[in-house]
Amino acid sequence: GREAHIIRLRYGLDDQAPLTQREIASLCGISRSLYPAALIVNDARKAFAEQGFPGIEYFEAKARRI
């Protein structure tokens, strides 16, 4: 869905460089406040844990480098 797409863009999960919230908002035609990052990250943490993946902290650190 849309949230999954935003997560992939934010953390560069599709072999792309991670994008900022501003870049994602511009690309998707939404306001930055429409999908608060904290809610998306919490949903991602739950999904990662349910699938047995290590924490999303790796991707958060990757995104902070941009």
Please report the pLDDT score of residue 34 as a whole number: 65
Q: Is the pLDDT of residue 59 over 60?
A: yes
Q: Dihedral (C-alpha) 44, 18, 6, 55: value to the nearest 10 degrees?
A: 0
Q: How far is CA 2 from CA 34, 52, 54, in A?
A: 12, 23, 23
Local confidence band at 45 (pLDDT 50, 70, 90 cut-offs): confident
pTM of this structure? 0.54
Please report the pLDDT score of residue 61 as a whole number: 72
Q: Is the pLDDT of residue 18 over 80?
A: yes
